[in-house]
Amino acid sequence: MSDKTIATPILEELVSLYQNNLKLITEGSADILNRHREQAMQHFRELGIPSQKNEKYKYSRIEPLFAHEYQKHFAPKRIAFNVDDIFRCDIPELDTHLALVLNGFYLPKGEKLTTLPNGVIFGSLAEAAIKFPNLVNGRYNSLAENKTDGLVALNTAFAQDGVFIYIPRNVVESKPIQIINLLMSDVNQLVQYRNLIVVEEGAQANVLICDHTLSPKRFLSNVVTEIFVGNNAQLEFVKMQNEHNDAAQLTHTYAHQQADSRLVTNVLSLHGGFIRNNLAVTLAGEGADAQLYGLHLTDRTQHTDNFTFIDHAVPNCTSNELYKGILDDQATGAFNGKIMVRRDAQKTQAYQSNNNLLLTADARMNTKPQLEIYADDVKCSHGATVGQLDNEALFYMRARGIGEREAKLLLMFGFAHEVVKRISIDTLRERIDDMVNKRLRGELSRCHNCPMHCC
């Protein structure tokens, strides 16, 4: 271990868990994943779990999340249920290709990998690493920051499966690919899995990830997703987090864009006890465009922390970032967003905004927008607001016969909709609008046969 790393009992326990189960971990995975494990574990030993002394994690206490008793499964655990009977939080009108993940392992309804007539491939990452090593090797673990983030290194050491999505060159896949990540167990679970998304040159795709808990146990998820968007390719990536209050989710998403590509991300945190989202985007080819959106609705004692990093590595790229939060009760939140404009990245246009509403005096929000610019011919701006509902707007609405509660709800919904409206899929946008509306009203709907207040 590094001299700077304190050998805490939690760190030692995770290292021992890895060492004692290494054979099970490697047997249940593929060589391409296995070859990175030892070095990743060494990085984890050196880095440990990030503390609040780490500037990136200044507003979130991570180590206490690992202090609970968890079980870790090193093989898919078969649970006798019909997903169609139990899980009804999907959108009936939304026609998608469906990929299911249960407790960190891909859950096939048939084959572990699906290949469509147009060459699109999706399914188990572990299976893809065996059957299509040329598509996975060289990409897997090439973006993940194992050397600087202990949580990412921990995932690389442990992750055995996840979802692989491949969109071939010049293929326009009009049907969204929906990843439904389910957590269901009769014991507390530590879950670590991996996603790899590749959109080749000239291709287009929409990917939707939905996170849900289906049993009232404590869950801790530590997930890494790597995304490659080729020349002139387009990807819309929507992540909807909707887990119960005893679930903690740590996500790390890395995207690499080539020339003239377009990436739109939308991270919607509707429910969850503790959420930490890391999103890093590198604009590596001229003409690349990144649009990053996020919304979190946080109440009770929930905590949501979004950390973003946009790297303008080359000239003539654009980025726009809008994150919003609504915090109620004793909820806490954080936004730490950084835009880096490299020395040669002239003609960059980069804009960042973070706006937050506090509904009570006890809610807390920390926000830190940042610009680091080394080029001189750029257009960049950043800003942040933390405040209450506009009293003048409330007065205007009440003067026209709208009750106080309804007026507040309308203002909050309009505030949130500025992010939701960026979703291009009509049925998905309408469904999320409905979920946001119910969430704001405190009228949480329930999945059929599901005990969780997470929908």
Q: What is the pLDDT of residue 82?
A: 60
Distance CA 223, CA 155 (A): 7
**Local structure of 208: helix, strand or coil:** strand
Mean pLDDT score, 156-165: 97
* Residue whose pair of structure tokens reads 């979190």 in the numeric block: 296
pLDDT digits (tens, 9 = 90+) for 282-334: 999 999 999 999 999 999 999 999 999 999 999 999 999 999 999 999 999 99
Shortest CA distance to 416 belongs to which of 436, 397, 393, 390? 436
Q: Which residues of 413-446 are buried (b: 16+ CB within 10 A; e: fewer)?
A: bebbbebbebbebeebbebbbebbbebbeeeeee
Token representation of residue 193: 């899995």
Distance CA 3, CA 318 (A): 41
Q: What is the pLDDT of residue 343?
A: 95
Predicted structure pTM score: 0.94
Report percent pLDDT > 90 for the chain: 79
| Res 405 pLDDT > 90 | no
Distance CA 318, CA 320 (A): 7
| Res 266 pLDDT > 60 | yes
β-bridge partners, 49: none
Q: At what angle do helices 37-47 and 150-158 cross, to 10 degrees?
A: 150
Confidence of residue 85 (pLDDT cuts 50, 70, 90): very low
Distance CA 224, CA 40 (A): 13
Token representation of residue 170: 């010049």
| Res 344 pLDDT > 90 | yes
Confidence of residue 88 (pLDDT cuts 50, 70, 90): very low
**Residue ranges in 132-167 assigned as alpha helix (H):** 133-136, 150-158
Mean pLDDT score, 195-200: 98
Strands 234-242 and 204-213: parallel
Where on the phi/psi map is residue 329: left (φ > 0), alpha (ψ -120 to 50), or beta? left
Q: What is the pLDDT of residue 86?
A: 46
Q: What is the pLDDT of residue 322?
A: 98
Confidence of residue 394 (pLDDT cuts 50, 70, 90): confident
Shortest CA distance to 123 belongs to which of 57, 197, 50, 173? 197
The answer to whether 20 and 116 have CB atoms below 8 angstroms apart is no
* Residue whose pair of structure tokens reads 């189960």 in the numeric block: 21
Distance CA 236, CA 423 (A): 8
Q: What is the pLDDT of residue 154?
A: 98
Strands of the 262-271 sheet, one edge to the other:
105-106, 97-102, 177-183, 204-213, 234-242, 262-271, 289-298, 318-327, 349-358, 379-387
Per this entry, what is the length of the chain? 455
> CA-CA distances (angstroms) from residue 311 to 57, 181, 197?
19, 29, 19
Task: Name 93's Cβ contacts closer than 8 Å, sequence gap at least 6.
Answer: 427, 431
| Res 276 pLDDT > 80 | yes
**Local structure of 417: helix, strand or coil:** helix
The answer to whether 365 and 333 have CB atoms below 8 angstroms apart is yes
The answer to whether 272 and 304 have CB atoms below 8 angstroms apart is yes
The answer to whether 105 and 160 have CB atoms below 8 angstroms apart is yes
